[in-house]
Amino acid sequence: MSDILSIKNLSVVYKTSNRETSALKSININFRSHEIAAIVGESGSGKSTMGLAIMKLISDPGKITSGEVIYHGDQDIDIMGLDAGELRRFRWKTISMVFQASMNSLNPVTRVRDQFMDTFAAHSMKQDDKMIDFLLEHSGLSNNVKNMYPNQLSGGMKQRVNIALALACNPKILIADEPTTALDVVVQREILEYLASLKNKLNLTIIFITHDISLASMVADRMFIFYDGRVIESGDTEEIINNPLHPYTKKLLSLIISLKSVNNLKFYMPDKKNYNKSNSGCSYYNNCPIRSSACLKYDYHEIINNNHMVKCINVDKVINNV
């Protein structure tokens, strides 16, 4: 399977008058054609910032300080090098995005059909009712939905409409940022099944951003675990779930509730205030149960084995269940 998008040394900072925060720290990721890749991490880990950076939508006080985002189409295109006009032609037609909390983004006084028409017009496309019917059908919605207002739709229906709008220009890549937030468990599963079906029907590459590793495990082909602006572990989903190598990944997995082991469940709430603030060493140091003095000397020592990457100097302790 070939790569469709390559992120190279991508860094983003947010700077205010008295503070500078690194949201992404030299991220390197290759996304493959026709896969669902899950970006998993707690709030503040940088996962949503990465989605916005791919679209070159970082705004003040944020700034992309380094890196390339290469789209591999008929020719390689560095998105970071596109000007405003080129970006307008590129976004939505090549890479599209369903934003976090997008259920609230539909215009409450405009029918669904008109919101599709506005999207077509914004990207110089033919305004076509048949295309709307096609998109709604692939979303599992009836054609009647196009004549409805957002307040007439359930939360799940609104999210399906938003995803259909993101697909209106037939993109190759869809970034879905927390697409199941505020939906009940049943509807969450329906939306995930819908995304998985889109990958196959439309030959999409989907970048699924979520804080919930259990949801990611249901649909993702590969996972990238984010912590403090870095990818600390990545690999095939089955490998990550069955053989986690980073202590933080193991903690995330402890949150998955199994009916068979609910009485033995150990809950874990990441302490975002307890990052290692020193200029060197692993930023998970203060939270890590297997930390050692060596962790303060290495900035995420990287180990790669059979497409399974982990950044941890003490990975042998994890493997040996120390």
In a domain, 150, yes or no: yes
DSSP 52-68: HHHTT---TTEEEEEEE
In a domain, 265, yes or no: yes
Per-residue pLDDT at 321: 64
In a domain, 313, yes or no: yes
Amino acid symbol at 147 = N
Reported as type and span, the H/E element at residue 175 is: strand 173-177
Per-residue pLDDT at 267: 39
Last residue of a domain, which of 169, 192, 221? 169
- The pLDDT of 262-281, averaged and rounded, is 51
- How far is the CA of 187 from the CAs of 9, 87, 182, in angstroms? 37, 34, 10
- How far is the CA of 266 from the CAs of 30, 43, 251, 254, 256, in angstroms? 33, 20, 9, 6, 10
Q: What percent of the chain has pLDDT over 90?
A: 59
Q: What is the mean pLDDT of the chain?
A: 88
Whether residue 53 has pLDDT greater than 90: yes
Per-residue pLDDT at 128: 81
What is the pTM (predicted TM-score) of this model? Answer: 0.90
Residue 303's pLDDT band (cuts 50, 70, 90): confident
In a domain, 3, yes or no: no
Nearest to 174 by CA among 157, 190, 156, 197: 197
In a domain, 21, yes or no: no
**Pairwise pLDDT comparison (131 vs 104), residue with the higher score:** 131
Per-residue pLDDT at 320: 67
Parent domain of 144: 105-169
Nearest to 40 by CA among 167, 226, 273, 267: 226
Whether residue 147 has pLDDT greater than 50: yes
In a domain, 69, yes or no: no
In a domain, 49, yes or no: no
What is the number of structural domains in the chain? 2
In a domain, 38, yes or no: no
The answer to whether 139 and 169 are in contact (CB under 8 A) is no
Whether residue 286 has pLDDT greater than 70: yes
CB half-sphere exposure, 109, CA atoms < 13 A: 0
Last residue of a domain, which of 169, 188, 222? 169
Q: Which residues pair with 207 in a beta bridge?
A: 37, 175
Last residue of a domain, which of 169, 184, 206? 169
Q: Please write the tens of the pLDDT for every residue from 148-185.
A: 999 999 988 999 999 999 999 999 999 999 998 878 88
Residue 258's pLDDT band (cuts 50, 70, 90): very low
Q: Which of 75-84, 232-241, 252-261, 277-286 has the lowest mean pLDDT?
A: 252-261
Burial of 149 (0-12, 13-18, 19+ CB in 10 A): middle
